[in-house]
Structure 1
């Protein structure tokens, strides 16, 4: 029987999602997780490949607006729920899904596609480049101390029910969007993702807890929050508990430090763990011993320019720029060719096709990596991924593309 690829219908969702669970190891998700993702699934943007009554492959997309350098929120397709049944691998199914999906994204007018990769080796061949990294720390609070800035003592921290203060926490998140590329503006329903708290997600820890940072007077109210779990552990010497931080955001240095100080001081715990943090997280400058904080990184958000000129014109640049780039993009050939990018002193840019001689040569994958300002073109050139055709062009372009802060994806999708 021939395979059929079609847009998902609402009454097919359970079969479609069962396939996805199987593709990712076959461990069933909790009812709460399934309910949330069923509500978030955009069926009109979800594809299934069917072998008779069986769903054997899937790919979906969420409608996002992604923060980019300069603070604009740019339409982006959040590629997700991609999987192929182990019985149907090596048949070109994934390539066909990526082809149709990128064609649909282009037709819908979204300049960008983004994803988090279960296997990052897969998506480079479709033009996705690693654009952000995530920091993880395991801080030994028996040996590491915090040095907090002035004003920290003026901030009050208060335990609160995570759901009761959700609106306040979302306001903090929204205020941070423009200053940190890579953060998605949370569409309705997405605010509930950080509150998922199925027992299987706790790994022996407590139910999800929340503490908010508050300040009195004008401009006061909630200025930060942290969500976390406490994992009690004991050995012959006594308690060896751990604090697992899932989210921490704050609007100013004092509120930020007050939240970390609170987490460091939880009784019967001696380690604070935080994952999926920005690689330039200020906590690295508050701790007395970075080594005993065990910082490490891994790839996070992968970016694909679908409409190259629209994407490059949507962000701003850190320096004036005038460069001609020869871009390779075999999978989306409408992006291939020679482009002149001109950015003025205020940061805005114009990107047009040109017949002028190329000064840089690179693929769309490298442009995706550099797009949010966290990966430099100079580092890509040092790896041979960007070729300089005019002396000085790499450095000029790298300065313009680079951002003041590291881009960051705060949660998966």
Structure 2
């Protein structure tokens, strides 16, 4: 098997496989546009005797972790022909791209799974979930008078991006967007925008929405303070003569809207969303800011990682009084470890999606009581979210 990047003239090979695997058909005009935007160097294929058997796309992104940007490799469009399934093609592609990401300094990788158990085998783990709301008009938030105003139809990406970044930086795992991403993956011709401006003229929130079948479909709701949240909701509620209700999707899991409603008994759904994986444990841990404590401490952790052998094994983990870490590989057997977990579990611990104590209760992290207390002590509380899809 030959694993390599595709060439520009292999667009049709790639698209034919995508259309078959994901059961869609691009109209000729959209296919031509996709061909113009095709970045062959981002698509990796597994070839047998010159025939494309399987493929995936590796996207270069940055994501927010603890308010800092971290390089991330996003995997998308993982596909194989049905006659080639269960032959290890995708496994080899994933192992190859992990090596590629590691060499490129991408310390994290994200993907949206078609099947969560499949990708868990390779070290990815669910790191975030989103809420979805369906709110009838009668249960909309109350209309209130606020100082400031909403301007509809604002398409100034610089304004939207600034607000998005100030909102997204609160979470671990949110995407840093560039101009191309805004233009081609966030905004669309059918969507509407509205921005809330304070009394001083400062933008403080926005909403991306559309009206479909007498329903407000709210794709993104970003606010920096309560005044902006109330102002935007009053604007949306003023559509009450035009719609029967509203649906919101990709709402962060810590969102408090139902509690704030006059009647919080609305239709709600929590949905496990994207998966994440630490690509290079040493680089990621040593760039992380841990909680400050009174004395320098260290523990030995065993990480299980079959598909990224540079992570697999024993590590001496030291955290200084100021919260800086050193992560050094050491020789020894697994039973010498104070703590043990797989790479997916370490990922969600570091993201703050789950706490050490709760994972220890279910056997996802094992170790002696003092080491588990140390782990609980050093990892700060955090929330995770993702407002994008790829």
TM-score by length of 2: 0.89
Cα offset, 1:295, TM superposition: 2.3
Residue 174 of structure 1: which of 148, 154, 165 is its match? 165
Partner of 2:384: 407
| Aligned counterparts of 2:254 and 2:142: Cα–Cα separation in 1 | 17
1:96 to 89, 92, 95: 92
Q: Which residue of 2 aligns with 1:194?
A: 186
Deviation digits for residues 49-86 of structure 1 (CA, Å, limit 9, x no counterpart): 345675331111111111112x1101111111111111
Partner of 1:158: 151
C-alpha displacement at 1:17, in angstroms? 2.1
How far did 1:179 drift? 2.2
Give unmatched runs, 5+ long, in structure 1. Answer: 198-206, 233-240
For residue 141 of structure 1, report the CA deviation from its aligned partner. 3.1
Deviations 1:29-53 (A, max 9, x none): 78558736963x5432321234567
Among 219, 224, 230, the residue aligned to 2:211? 230
1:344-359 to 2 correspondence within 5 Å?
344=320, 346-354=322-330, 357-359=336-338
The answer to whether structure 1 residue 10 and structure 2 residue 3 are counterparts is no
- Compute the displacement of 1:409 (Å): 0.8
Match of 2:369 among 388, 391, 399: 391
* 3-state SS of paired residue (1:65): strand
From 329, 332, 339, the equivalent of 1:360 is 339
Q: Tell me the alpha carbon deviations over residues 117-147 of structure 1, each in whole angstroms, 9 at most, x when there is no partner.
A: 1221211111111111111111233135449
Matched residue, 2:273: 300
Paired residues for 1:60-79 under 5 Å = 60-69=57-66, 71-79=67-75
Name the counterpart of 1:242: 215
* Aligned: 1:213 with 2:196: yes
Matched residue of 1:368: which SS? helix
SS of equivalent residue, structure 1 residue 126:
coil
Match of 1:59 in 2: 56
1:176, distance to aligned residue in structure 2 (A): 2.9
**In the alignment, is the contact (CA less than 8 A) between 1:147 and 1:288 conserved in 2?**
no
Q: Contact 1:375–1:402 (CA<8 Å) still a contact in 2?
A: no
SS in 2 for 1:295: strand
CA–CA separation in structure 1 for the residues paired with 2:29 and 2:224: 34
Aligned residue pairs total 382
Give the structure 2 partner of residue 202 of structure 1.
Answer: none
Q: Which runs of 5 or more structure 2 residues have no equivalent in the other structure?
A: none
Cα distance in 2 for residues equivalent to 1:180 and 1:258 = 23
Whether the aligned pair in 2 keeps the contact of 1:111 and 1:308 (CA below 8 Å) is: yes
Alignment match, 1:184: 175
| Kept in 1: contact 2:146–2:230 (CA 8 A) | no
Instruction: Return closer, same or farther for 1:339/1:61 CA change in 2, 3 Å cut-off.
Output: same
Between the aligned partners of 1:400 and 1:252, the Cα distance in structure 2 is: 30
State the distance in 2 between where 1:33 and 1:349 align.
48
Q: TM-score under structure 1 normalisation?
A: 0.84
Secondary structure in structure 1 of the residue aligned to 2:310: helix
**SS of 2:101's equivalent?**
helix
The alpha-carbon distance between structure 1 residues 24 and 216, as it changes in their structure 2 partners (threshold 3 A), is same
> Contact 1:154/1:215 (CA < 8 Å) preserved in 2?
yes
Name the counterpart of 1:131.
127
Q: Distance in 2 between matches of 1:223 and 1:139?
A: 24
What's the C-alpha RMSD, in Å, of the aligned pairs? 2.5
**For 2:132 and 2:32, how far apart are their aligned partners in 1?**
27
SS at match of 1:374: coil
Secondary structure, counterpart of 1:261 in structure 2: helix
> Does the alignment pair 1:43 with 2:20?
no
Report the 3-state secondary structure (helix = DSSP H, G, I; strand = E; otherwise coil) of the residue aligned with 2:388. coil
The offset of 1:109, in angstroms, is: 1.8
How far does the alpha carbon of each residue in 1:66-109 deviate from its partner, in whole angstroms, 9 at most, with x for none?
1112x110111111111111121111111111111111111112
